Amino acid sequence: MTSSSTDTALQTALQTAKDRLVLGSAPDSWGVWFPDDTLQIPWPRFLDELAGSGYGWLELGPYGYLPTDPAQLNEEVGKRGLRVSGGTVFGDLHHARNWDDTLTTVRAVAELTAAVGAHHLVLIPPMYRDQRTGAFTESPALDADQWARLTRAADELGRILLGDYDVRLCVHSHADSHVQTQEEIERLLDGTGPDLVSLCLDTGHVAYGGGDAVDLIRRYRERIGYVHIKQMDPEIIRQVRAEQLGFGEAVRRGVCVEPPAGEPAPAAVVDALAEVDARVFVIVEQDLYPCDFDTPKPIAERTRRYLNSCGLGARHQRRP
């Protein structure tokens, strides 16, 4: 085989691997953080613009923003040619006193997620700083007992979700949460069962916490169940550390940027994800809350085109 034919074969194999990566987006990219907020775009417009931007898949976002009646939700996404990749929920796993409330909420979201044909539930740990004010609501560090509680609860929740709903638990690494830094992400993964708990790897939040998303993908590829792809502005991250800012203020300063302006490099992430021997949803998130309602759609379109140029989602994209 000639060098040229070898290169062609390798490129074909790489693109075949990238075709296992499914591109979508989420309400977060339209400035949606809460179930109901006057600063957020109405949900019918979000769905219209998501479909019009060329995406075929969506994550549900905060429970209650989109319709929670399965029949209505199926109708609304279906008539726009969309499909649901997964649900989203906040859940406290490190306080035993909050387990019952967390389980009740997670069950409601899991039921809706399963009813619309999705099999992933992204669980975001509670933030230790208020999203609006930046005030600390608890210590930024968990003690050994709290970590033990978190990992046991994650395993138990993963078992419940798989058994009762055929939904996979994907714990989200998130800024201003106790699963933020690379060390914390690794502690979560090393302390939970691979068959019960996956990681929702958020590339931007990993960068925000000083970690390396590509390294995590390559060392924990069997645990990467779902991905949020975004970039962070390194200059604003420096401001966060120097001024001890909360994540809400960092977002208001524009820490989350459209590619290829920030870190990590999307092409490197996509290449690493191509090594994962499984279908992986890669969901665009660019934290924009709050924003003018006319801002998100052009960004979403440019972001899709850029990610397509990296080999992500080009073959299966919608045609706006």
Q: Which domains are delineated in the chain? A: 19-309 (3.20.20.150)
Q: What is the model's pLDDT at position 15?
A: 58
CB neighbour list of residue 113: distance below 8 Å, 6 or more residues apart: 60, 84, 86, 87, 119, 120, 121, 165, 167
Q: What is the model's pLDDT at position 319?
A: 46
Q: What is the model's pLDDT at position 18?
A: 81
Decide if 112 contacts 64 (C-beta within 8 A).
no
Percentages (nearest 5) of helix, strand, coil residues in the chain: 45, 15, 40
Q: 199 pairs with which residues across the strands? A: 171, 224
Contacts 24+ apart (CB under 8 A), 36-45: 36/64, 36/65, 39/289, 39/290, 40/65, 40/289, 40/290, 41/293, 41/296, 43/67, 44/76, 45/293
Q: What is the model's pLDDT at position 152?
A: 98
Secondary structure element (H or E) that encloses residue 120, with its range:
strand 120-124
Q: What is the model's pLDDT at position 303?
A: 97
pLDDT in tens, 48-76: 999 999 999 999 999 999 999 999 999 99
Q: Measure the CA dihedral 140/144/150/153, to 10°.
A: -160
**How far, CA to CA in Å, does 120 sit from each of 1, 89, 109, 156, 170?**
42, 11, 11, 16, 7
SS3 of residue 301 by DSSP? helix
Q: 89 pairs with which residues across the strands? A: 123
Across all residues in the chain, what is the average pLDDT? 93
Q: What is the model's pLDDT at position 19?
A: 84
Q: What is the model's pLDDT at position 141?
A: 95
Q: What is the model's pLDDT at position 111?
A: 98
Residue ranges of the chain with per-residue pLDDT less than 70: 1-16, 314-320
Cβ count within 10 A of residue 204: 25
